[in-house]
Amino acid sequence: MATWKTILLQDSASPLMEQLLFFHDHGLLVLAIITVLVSHLLMTLFFNKFSHRLLLDGQTIELIWTILPAVTLIFIALPSLRLIYILDEINNPMISIKSIGHQWYWSYEYSDFKNIEFDSYMIPINDMNSFNFRLLDVDNRMVVPYETNIRMLITSTDVIHSWTIPAMGVKIDATPGRLNQISFTTNRSGLFFGQCSEICGANHSFMPIVMESIAPKFFMNWISQTD
């Protein structure tokens, strides 16, 4: 989760987020190279006291600084296109979970099992324990097994919300009258926190998301106790 000392992105907890982090580092490396090169050229230009009195045009250098940006864009565009197709790929999900946004809470339905539906409200500050996170913990967590392909079906009953868990690399709009879907796989156990990322009204900041990733064996025990 994000803390006061988190400067960069959160640690990844899914293969998709790992790929997003790799692309982020790749893009920053390209930008750093461009920044150093342009800064060096500017410093050279400022401190250069020589001039070419017969220079009217330079077709060679103009060709170079036209081709170099095009090649740079290719190095950024190809990994980006590859990542877009990876994020949109849904292959044989093991579990489908429907998340419904309300003003201002989330409700979940495990459509693969019978009678598993619950609402997830933020825990009020007065009811919190010492181990709870302020404005982030909920009374009913969404529980998933790790190393399992999960398909999320997202919709809303009133206004546009956005179901987001940064550690998963997941952000998808909950739109009234529309059913959006996304898939992800967690590669470790833990608690992963998110929040609504679309301004949806007065209590937009008070509808957090908590996902608990556990072993498949314990997930089946949770299903049997909840059903």
Q: For 119-138, how does the pLDDT look when each residue is reduced to its tens digit (9 = 90+)? A: 999 998 888 888 888 888 99
pLDDT at 57 over 90: no
pLDDT at 1 over 80: no
Q: What is the chain's mean pLDDT, rounded?
A: 87
Strands 95-102 and 150-156: what pairing?
parallel
β-bridge partners, 173:
162
pLDDT at 10 over 90: no
| Residues with Cβ within 8 Å of residue 157, at least 6 apart in sequence | 100, 101, 102, 176
pLDDT at 160 over 90: yes
| Residues with Cβ within 8 Å of residue 136, at least 6 apart in sequence | 1, 122, 193, 195, 208, 210
User: 65 vs 210, which has greater pLDDT?
Assistant: 210
The predicted structure's pLDDT at residue 97:
92
Mean pLDDT, rounded, for 49-75: 82
Mean pLDDT, rounded, for 5-23: 83
Task: Tokens for 38, please give them.
Answer: 């342009």
| Extended beta strands in 84-207, E state | 95-102, 105-110, 117-120, 142-145, 150-156, 161-165, 170-174, 180-184, 190-195
The predicted structure's pLDDT at residue 44:
87
User: 49 vs 33, which has greater pLDDT?
Assistant: 33
Predicted confidence band at 162 (pLDDT cuts at 50, 70, 90)? Answer: very high
The predicted structure's pLDDT at residue 214:
92
Mean pLDDT, rounded, for 186-208: 90
pLDDT at 109 over 80: yes
Asked whether 77 and 83 are in contact (CB, 8 A), the reply is no
User: 160 vs 226, which has greater pLDDT?
Assistant: 160
Predicted confidence band at 4 (pLDDT cuts at 50, 70, 90)? Answer: low
Share of the chain above pLDDT 90, in %: 32
Mean pLDDT, rounded, for 4-13: 76
pLDDT (tens digit per residue) in 78-88: 988 888 888 77
Confidence (pTM): 0.78
pLDDT at 7 over 80: no
Strands 150-156 and 208-214: what pairing?
unpaired
What is the C-alpha to C-alpha distance for residues 43 and 46, in angstroms, rounded to an integer? 5
How far from 189 is each of 98, 116, 136, 211, CA to CA, in Å? 21, 22, 18, 10
Helix (H/G/I), strand (E/B), else coil: 155: strand
Task: Tokens for 144, please give them.
Answer: 């998933």
